Amino acid sequence: MALADSARGLPNGGGVSPAAGSGAAAAAGGWSAFPEIVELNVGGQVYVTRRCTVVSVRDSLLWRMFSQQQPSELPRDSKGRFFLDRDGFLFRYILDYLRDLQLVLPEHFPERSRLQREAEYFQLPDLARRLAQARVAAAASRPAALHRDGSVCADEPPPLGCLEAEPAEGGAAAATAPSPTGSRSPSGGPLLTPSQSLDGAGGRRSGYITIGYRGSYTIGREAQADAKFRRVARITVCGKTALAKEVFGETLNESRDPDRPPERYTARYYLKFNFLEQAFDRLSEAGFRMAACSSTGTCAFGPEQGGPADDKIWTSYTEYVFCRD
């Protein structure tokens, strides 16, 4: 049996059961089996919103899910929230658009390509069109020296390899050999990104990155024999956004500060692994060296923390400062 047009593109096959038909009839009749306040789990991020918000754009994927299907037909997580296996951090911009049909993004937003893909998935053609137009406008306004070929996306910072001389008018030989003095800023100096150092090795960025972690351990009567160490729960990263992404790449968790521009500083990143030595290895491979470190500690007696009377619980916070000239 062919699916009706209104059921195409829906999760779980579009809901061809009688319950789905009753859901469509309910929507047409002005009432719904869904609660007025709906909870969504989008890629692990929880959103709470009104049902009228998610169905505000007719014929969109969310409109079909929450007006043409029954709640029992939609996937849920372990806590009963409706589950969508999409990018949870970008979904907040989708939800903002559904609220008032306006597109408002941060001034430096590097995720336009991915957000456009999310808009297309949720079947929001007007939002996808606006994002495409914004990308074209950003590409047109970028200086030509920064995007010599079309492979550089308009909403992403250009790789350092693109900061080379423009082809000269003297022929193919001059065009294929970049000159160290051929690419100049209006003041006559080399054309560099704001975070590049003139004397850095290979033109790489110079700067500082601070690694921090908090740890604790318990010592009883037998001192070292009874010491109970707790593993490091989280390693934090502080410094310039571009530097942190260059060094740690995919192992960097940006969820607490996803919209930070490349040349701004942040203290909200942390690593996806819990081994300090792994972080040190990455920094060393990137040319960083340790410049300083500091640590503080406090002590509390076990009974105050609900532990044995003779135990002492030590808590410490340590920071390591790395620099690259």
Token pair belonging to 17: 């059961």
Give CA–CA dist 126/85, Å, rounded. Answer: 22
Q: Rounded to an integer, what is the distance from CA 282 to the centroid of its chain? A: 20
pLDDT-above-90 percentage for the chain? 38
Q: H or E segment at 63?
A: helix 61-68
Q: If one looks up domain 37-138 in CATH, what number appears?
A: 3.30.710.10
161 vs 283, higher pLDDT: 283
Token pair belonging to 184: 């100049």
User: What pLDDT score does 143 carry?
Assistant: 57
Checking if the pLDDT of 116 tops 80, the result is yes
User: What pLDDT score does 268 carry?
Assistant: 87
Checking if the pLDDT of 150 tops 50, the result is no
**Pairing mode, strands 37-42 and 82-84:** parallel
User: What pLDDT score does 299 carry?
Assistant: 78
Fold that domain 207-221+228-302+310-324 belongs to in CATH: Gtp Cyclohydrolase I Feedback Regulatory Protein; Chain: K (3.30.1410)
Mean local confidence (pLDDT), 207-216: 88
196 vs 93, higher pLDDT: 93
* pTM greater than 0.75 (yes/no): no
pLDDT digits (tens, 9 = 90+) for 152-183: 444 444 444 444 444 444 444 444 444 444 44
Q: H or E segment at 259?
A: none
Mean local confidence (pLDDT), 62-66: 95
The per-residue pLDDT of the chain, averaged, comes to: 74
Domain extents for the chain?
37-138, 207-221+228-302+310-324
